[in-house]
Amino acid sequence: MGKRSRGGDAETGDVLADPLSREFFSGIGIHANSLGRMYAVAYAFLLFAWSGSDNKRFRLLCVASMGLIVLALVLTFSRGAFVGFLIVNALFMLWRFNAKTAALALLVGVALFLVLPSQVFDRAAFGFDEDANAVSAGRLDGIWEPLLPGLWNSPLWGNGLSSVTWSEPMRNGLMQEVTHPHNAYLEALLDVGLLGLGLLLAYFVHVWKGFRSLGSNAFLTPEMRGFYQGAAAGLLSFLVTGFAGSSLAPRSEYAFLWIAIGMMYGQLGRRPTT
């Protein structure tokens, strides 16, 4: 009750952060967790493009855009988005590490720690004082464990797209009523089996190599090299956060990533041969 006594802003933050009200953004057609992961990928593009550019106007525009994106990401109160955001920044530190980068990261980290509302930290720590099922927001007992036996129905090529909706646990009321298993890898195994998952992962390895190749291509502008480095960071963010949601198949929340993949093919097709 202490948080609600601080007034309307605190009450709004409590509603957004409440694990039982994750449909807050459904009015715009997307779940809060999906929206947050989309912002994390967009942030990755801007961060690396900003770092690679010498154009002051472009860098200022990137900073302004990143500020808005980070604010929007925080307001989703999505733990997956928080993890994706941290992964992108960790990769930035790893790939662009120098004294200036370290000082900037420290400054931004301290600033965020001071200005972020308490609800953000409460949301990030949700369930850690209980058990693994609480940390997973009920996914472990309510979704994943009931679905695991279904992996053996057709382990090689799966049970068909969106198979969770007609799975035995769903039909018998033994799991939460969901339309996807909240784990991109489990979804792939259930829908398209080991063969399908292997092909999907092989494709993303191919995309990763393409992004990394263009990220160091001397024929591209510094901004475009930074863009593709950010795309590589966003791809890793996507693959890691997929363990608690999303899908390896194209979804609207990764529209920016799929646009970058399309750009990659166009850029590779125009790459000089000498």
Q: What is the pTM of this model?
A: 0.83
Q: What is the pLDDT of residue 4?
A: 38
Q: Is the pLDDT of residue 37 over 60?
A: yes
Place of tokens 């259930």: 190
Number of domains making up the chain? 1
Q: Which ranges constitute the DSSP H helices of the chain?
A: 8-17, 32-52, 56-76, 79-95, 99-115, 118-124, 132-135, 139, 145-147, 168-171, 184-215, 222-241, 255-269
| 212, 214, 219, 223: CA torsion to nearest 10 | -90
Average pLDDT across the chain, whole number: 84
> Considering the domain boundaries, does residue 11 fall inside one?
no
> Considering the domain boundaries, does residue 113 fall inside one?
yes
Over the stretch 46-76, which tens digit does the pLDDT of each residue have?
999 999 999 999 999 999 999 999 999 988 8
Burial degree of 107 (CB within 10 A; 0-12, 13-18, 19+): exposed
Residue 60: domain span: 16-269
Q: Would you say the C-alpha torsion 236, 237, 242, 244 has a positive or negative sign?
A: positive
- The residue type of 219 is F
Q: What is the pLDDT of residue 251?
A: 86
